[in-house]
Chains A and B, each alone.
Chain A
Amino acid sequence: MELILQQTVNAISLGGTYALLALGLAVVFSIMGMINFAHGELMTISGYVLMYCGILGVPFTIAVPLAVLAAMAAAVLMERIAFRPVRNASGATMLVTSFAVAMILQVLFQNLISPRSQPVLLPEYLSQSISVGGIFIGVNKLVAIVATLVMLFVLDRFMTRQKIGIAMRAAAEDFAVARLMGIRANTVIAGAFAISGMLAGVAAVLWVSQRASVDPLMGFVPVVKAFIAAILGGLGSLRGAVAGGFLLGFIEIYLAAFLPSGMQAFREPIGLSLVILVLLVRPNGLIPAATIRAQKV
């Protein structure tokens, strides 16, 4: 029983990070119809900001907002420089562009920083654990859970209470008509990238705080997981992305914890088979995007 509780905490923590990342992919996809595979590199940028802050002795409480801001700024720049020129091109063109951005950034990290994994100085309390009702929970896991919940709450508020947030939902549903309302295309798209950058930044802080290191290719695995989570939840659906992220977290952690040791080698294929199983039953994902995207302009 304690083991189940323990693993459930781990699953919520990991799933929450996946949820934030999948949400970042979904926010951009819902508006632009593009999966941004350079999303992982936004995480890497945040990771390096944390690393340099550690080296320079910047307090962690300042390093975290700096890391998140850096990812936001990078996301907005990415849109401005790389994606705006291909905005009206086909989905395939945008996808390939995002791969190119990812690779260029990886090469830059390798050449300008270091091809090898670098340690990140973290405050000691993150690696401690506290006892809650008989089970020990790592502070970093707890922080991840709380941070995820706060982010989801803030984003939900933003999307339902703020004029620009509502405009982003409107644009996700019918871009052409949203523009007829006077909603500027550049504003909502830049806004979507800023939000996805913020989510990537927060996810990066959580990701790095579990590993205490950063390397040039760090973003690859999480962005692939986030992509799976977004598909699992229903591509383009924000609530779906969150659900998919958590489900993927639970699948991975429970398999790692409860699969017999002889079968651990097959953990990943078994996990992906479960994902495929879910998609067989719900081909459009757990919570499909409510409307098929109308024509893009």
Chain B
Amino acid sequence: MPLFGVNSLSVHYGAIEAVRGIDFEVGEGEIVALLGANGAGKSSTLNALAGLVPVAGGSVRFDGVDITNLKPEALTPLGLALSPEGRRVFGTLTVAENLRMGAYSISGRHVLEQAWERVYDLFPLLYERRSQYAGTLSGGQQQMLAVGRALMSNPRLLFLDEPSLGLAPRIVDQVFELIVKLREQGVTLVVVEQNVDRALEIADRAYLLALGQIRAAGSASDLAKSGAVTAAYLGEA
């Protein structure tokens, strides 16, 4: 059974159907890319999974549990974390306080210490800047903090919403290296990306969304070769 599965999920904003009955699944240890142009329904899908917008229809299962209508605060304790689009670090909190909040649902001194160690190990810069307000970090550093904050809860499944958006090319490289590294550490990842080529390079499989539906799905290498991606972005098909 897959670690995570979405079954004919629909999301509506009033009369607008942002997501119209999509299915996808994520196996343990996979990197799955969720691709699509602006307005394809990627963010609506993630927001619905996170409990930030209501699910209009369908179901979501994580690790055998139905999480369709859970509140956002109930997900991290289950082992599911989300790093939101636009990073959204707490700018008025220090770096260390941001990370502490990521570990909010963790109890036990030992587990907490391990989480600190792991994140500071991955991002030595965050350790150097730990007393600094997050709002004073650069965009790339804030992205590191956003991912580090999500990792503090020791998630089994991590959703990254547009992790490379608005970052300098050199930093984008680091972000994609990080994603591969996290998978090596045993984290399953779902990456929502507008940087299609880079996402397909690192992903195992990908789903392509257009107009709230899944237009194409398959292994990342197959999708990269087919014309489906270009077609979806150019608005045909």
Give the CA-CA distance A169 to B101 in the complex, in Å: 10
Give the CA-CA distance A173 to B135 in the complex, in Å: 11
Q: How far is the CB of A277 from chain B (nearest CB, A)?
A: 28
Residues of A within 8 A of B92 (CB): 169, 173, 290-291
Q: Mask for A163-190, Cβ within 8 A of B = 1, else 0?
A: 1001101100110111111111100000
Residues of B within 8 A of A297 (CB): 52, 72
B66 at interface, CB cutoff 8 A: no
- Segment from B83-91, B169-177, B207-215 that makes contact with A: B83-91
Interface members, chain A 191-209 (any B CB < 8 Å)? none
- Segment from B7-15, B16-24, B73-81, B178-186 that makes contact with A: B73-81
Contact (A180, B105) CB under 8 Å given A163-B100, A166-B93 = no
Give the CA-CA distance A163 to B105 in the complex, in Å: 11
Picked from A173, A174, A182, the residue with its CB within 8 Å of the CB of B104 is: A182
Contact indicator A170/B73 (Cβ below 8 Å): no
Contact indicator B104/A167 (Cβ below 8 Å): yes
Chain A interface, number of residues (Cβ within 8 angstroms): 22
B82 at interface, CB cutoff 8 A: yes
Chain A at the B interface: mostly helix, strand, loop or mixed? Answer: helix
Residues of A within 8 A of B91 (CB): 173, 290-291
Residues of B within 8 A of A184 (CB): 73
Q: Whose C-beta in chain A lies nearest to the C-beta of B51?
A: A179
Contact indicator A183/B88 (Cβ below 8 Å): no
Picked from A160, A169, A181, A290, the residue with its CB within 8 Å of the CB of B135 is: A290
A294 at interface, CB cutoff 8 A: yes
Contact (A180, B82) CB under 8 Å given A167-B104, A185-B73, A297-B72 = yes
Picked from B51, B90, B105, B135, the residue with its CB within 8 Å of the CB of A177 is: B90
Contact indicator B76/A182 (Cβ below 8 Å): yes
Residues of B within 8 A of A290 (CB): 91-92, 135
- 10 A-B contacts (beta carbon < 8 Å): A166-B100, A169-B92, A170-B101, A173-B92, A174-B88, A179-B72, A180-B52, A182-B105, A182-B153, A185-B73
List the 4 shortest-distance A-B pairs measured between CB atoms, nearest first: A182-B105, A182-B76, A179-B72, A290-B92
Show the binding face of B for A, using Cβ within 8 Å.
Answer: 50-52, 71-77, 81-82, 84, 88, 90-93, 97-98, 100-102, 104-105, 135, 149, 153
